[in-house]
Amino acid sequence: MSFPPPTGVEDRLRRESRPMYNLKNKNILVTGGAGFVGGHLVEELINQKTNVVVADIFFNKKSYLLCDRSIDKKCVLIKQDICNYKKLLIIIKKYKIEFIFHLAAQALVEEAYKNPKHTLDNNILSTINVLEAVRLNPQIKGLVVASSDKAYGKLKVAKYTEDYPLAGDHPYDTSKSVTDLLSTTYYKTYKIPVVVTRFGNIYGEGDLNFSRIIPGIMKSIIKNEQLKIRSNGKYIRDYLYVKDVVSGYLLLAKNINKVKGEAFNFGSDETLNVLDLIKIVEKNLSKKIKYRILNTAKNEIPYQSLDYSKIKKTLGWKPKENLKSSAEKIFSWYKIMKDNN
């Protein structure tokens, strides 16, 4: 006598047999699309012939999206805080949105320490609004939510896997944990087509937050300034190139019927402390970086590294770039930006 497979297995087998979602000509909303990662995502969505609507609270003329690339001429830009639920619904109705990438967030740990209410309000409420909008608008066929390695909190393991519990000792960590949990809640309760991404430290052209290590290094070289390191220089992170991040987002979107309800780590093979990272950049740019360790960072997690074997096994994703292959083009972007200003 044979028994039917468990419900979880049935669901997985059913999803694996579903066709890929075609993004071409779809109306796609990118929240936070004027930001560092958002600009790269919008660029690639345009390349793939989608109709992109960007909702953001701030459009910086120096950003990757707007600086001398004409990307903004090929999409709709809307200055709007999506914490305003009614305004979000108006955007979705007006532009007949069919897919959403939710990247909007207050993304700085240091800012979260200084202004926890703003961070929690922004990161949690915006996510609730997007999830609720997807629940009430069945024409939206998929939602990719950007979470973070910080959603795990501080774990004493070499590599974080997706089955570790979410935690958070500090405001930013907690805001990402809640974002993650809300997405899972809406999938399990309402079966909305949502998938969650957890990335390590993302770097690349267009990051204008110079308190982060890679932009800080580029600025210090170009301006011949001393680099100020907020940490003790020994914090360890995965470093992931922004184009690899975008390829991960798009891979999940195209396979939304297969991956909905899941969370995926996107890590790298470069798990480095800050001082080792500086040495790699120095070698590849043939530049000497002057730095001073301030050791003033608060609420930072000393060690984090993501196991990305799940996304590799499920969809074949793995990082294609590293600091050695990307350092020169990143440096060139910042140099051109300086020369044009």
Catalytic residue ranges: 172
Cβ 229 vs Cβ 213: under 8 Å:
yes
Beta bridge partners of 30: 54, 101
Helix segments in the chain, DSSP class H = 7-16, 36-47, 85-94, 109-114, 116-120, 126-136, 171-190, 213-222, 242-254, 256-259, 274-285, 309-315, 323-339
Asked if residues 153 and 301 have their Cβ atoms less than 8 Å apart, the reply is yes
Angle, CA 203 vertex, CA 125 and CA 169 arms, to 5°: 45
Beta bridge partners of 199: 266
- Cα angle 289-293-296, degrees, rounded to a multiple of 5: 140
Query: Tokens in use for 25?
Result: 């000509």
* End-to-end CA, the chain: 75
Give the other-Cβ count within 10 Å of 20's Cβ.
12
| 197 neighbors 266 (Cβ within 8 angstroms) | yes
Contact 75, 39 (CB under 8 A): no
SS3 68: coil
Question: Which stretches of 137-241 are DSSP H helices?
Answer: 171-190, 213-222
Residue 132: Cβ-neighbour burial (10 angstroms; 0-12, 13-18, 19+):
middle
79-115 as b/e: b if 16+ CB within 10 A: ebbbbeeeebeebbeebebbbbbbbbbbbebbbbbee
